[in-house]
């Protein structure tokens, strides 16, 4: 029978590369269970941190093929890339649906991320990577143009560009595994649903990127909109 | 290259007798007077290094309560390395003790 503590130790051990886990995982589990106190239900925080540290160090140092980086990072990127794309697409789409926009930039950006998402989820790794860099360009060009005349909203909207850069880099470095294979189907569904639900409830700050829209002008709570309310 | 503290203590634990991960953990704690508690992540990282370096090896595997338990033992090169390291540490400790006695920095004159 598997106790909760044992299950938690096993989950913790997944931070190690598969090869190390195969060689030492079971024996390590035996040792940790022997070391556990009576009635202990959770790994000690210090032990958990120690395992995460060593596991990540092994993943960083050992290259196990697939993608530009080692196995662990290739997997991480295979998950982070699509998640970042879904997040960007969702917030861009929400922005477009919310109200009229000056210029075509948000529409273009929404379309670009939609294309990237389609490519990424279809498993077209190289296509998704190339489109990711194109979408990054679409994301970065407007603020760069705007910066000389009106830098404040650009600075507040900087997270768009940063996230877009993360997406492009992750898609490029992603390994061959599918994101739902990396995270597990259920966990992946939750991760995908998170940005869409927060976009619907407006808990993030999509209005910041287009401060000229009426939607953001209405939101008094957002500091990034404040300079525009004159 | 001098061994790091954790590797030294693990080799020393295995010099007594072959034992498993938990046995090493407890022995290291005891040897160091409770000052060093090897966490599992650290313990197994060092064990893997020592196996790679040929200083220790797997002695036996047993199944205890339907669970795999691996015993490690010191190899001959491991024993030599441990002896060298013990000498080095003894010499360093002697030097430190001698200097402390002659310098009079320890007012109480504690055992050095």
Give B64's strand partners.
B67
CA distance A23 to B38: 20
Measured in angstroms, the CA of B16 and the nearest CA of chain A are apart by: 19
The answer to whether the CB atoms of A51 and B40 lie below 8 A apart is yes
Domain span at residue B70 reads 5-94
Measured in angstroms, the CA of A80 and the nearest CA of chain B are apart by: 26
The answer to whether the CB atoms of B41 and A35 lie below 8 A apart is no
Within a domain: residue B108?
no
Residue A197 CA, chain-centre distance (Å), reads 15
Could you tell me how many residues make up chain A? 230
The answer to whether the CB atoms of A32 and B40 lie below 8 A apart is yes
In a 10 Å sphere around its CB, with 0-12 CB exposed, 13-18 middle and 19+ buried, how is residue A29 labelled? buried
Q: Does B37 touch chain A (CB under 8 A)?
A: no
Which pLDDT tens digits describe chain A residue by residue (230 residues)?
678 899 999 999 999 988 899 999 999 999 999 999 888 889 988 899 999 889 888 887 655 443 445 567 788 888 899 999 999 999 888 888 887 766 778 888 999 999 999 999 888 888 899 999 999 999 888 888 888 888 887 888 888 889 999 999 999 888 778 888 888 888 888 888 887 676 665 444 444 444 444 444 444 444 444 444 44
Within a domain: residue B102?
no
Within a domain: residue B99?
no
Q: Does B44 touch chain A (CB under 8 A)?
A: yes
State the total domains in chain B: 1
The answer to whether the CB atoms of A47 and B40 lie below 8 A apart is yes
Measured in angstroms, the CA of A8 and the nearest CA of chain B are apart by: 14
Within a domain: residue B57?
yes
Q: Which residue of A has its CA nearest to B23?
A: A31
What strands lie across the sheet with B67-74, from one edge to the other? B19-20, B67-74, B56-64
CA distance B28 to B10: 7
CATH number of the domain at B64, please: 1.10.10.10
Within a domain: residue B111?
no
Give B69's strand partners.
B62
Within a domain: residue B16?
yes
Tens-digit pLDDT profile for residues B21-53: 999 999 999 999 999 999 999 999 999 999 989
């Amino acid at each position: 029978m598997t106790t909760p503590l044992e299950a938690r130790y096993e989950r913790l051990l997944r931070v190690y590369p598969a090869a190390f886990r195969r060689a030492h995982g079971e024996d390590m589990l035996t040792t940790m269970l022997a070391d556990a106190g009576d009635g202990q239900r959770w790994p000690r925080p210090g032990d958990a941190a120690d395992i995460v540290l060593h596991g990540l160090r092994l993943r960083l140092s050992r290259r196990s093929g697939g993608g530009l980086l080692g196995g662990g990072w290739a997997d991480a990127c295979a998950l982070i890339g699509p998640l970042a794309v879904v997040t960007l697409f969702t917030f861009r789409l929400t922005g477009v649906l919310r109200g009229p926009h000056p210029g075509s930039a948000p529409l273009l950006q929404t379309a670009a991320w939609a294309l990237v998402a389609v490519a990424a989820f279809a498993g077209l790794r190289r296509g998704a990577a190339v489109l990711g860099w194109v979408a990054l360009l679409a994301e970065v060009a407007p603020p760069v143009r705007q910066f000389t005349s009106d830098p404040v909203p650009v600075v507040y909207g900087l997270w768009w560009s940063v996230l877009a850069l993360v997406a492009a880099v992750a898609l490029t470095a992603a390994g061959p595994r599918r994101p739902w294979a990396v995270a597990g189907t259920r966990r992946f569904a939750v991760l995908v649903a998170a940005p869409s639900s927060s976009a619907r409830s407006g808990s993030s700050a999509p209005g910041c990127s287009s401060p000229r829209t009426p939607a953001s002008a209405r939101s008094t709570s957002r500091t990034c909109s404040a300079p525009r309310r004159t | 290259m001098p061994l790091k503290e954790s590797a030294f203590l693990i080799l020393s634990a295995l010099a007594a007798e072959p034992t498993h991960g938990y046995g090493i953990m407890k022995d290291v704690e005891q040897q160091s007077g409770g000052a060093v508690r090897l966490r599992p992540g650290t313990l197994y990282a060092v064990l893997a290094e020592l196996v790679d370096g040929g200083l220790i090896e797997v002695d036996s595997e047993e199944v205890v309560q339907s669970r795999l338990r691996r015993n490690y033992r010191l190899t001959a090169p491991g024993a030599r390395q441990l002896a060298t390291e013990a000498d080095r540490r003894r010499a360093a400790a002697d030097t430190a003790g001698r200097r402390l006695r002659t310098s009079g920095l320890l007012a109480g004159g504690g055992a050095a």
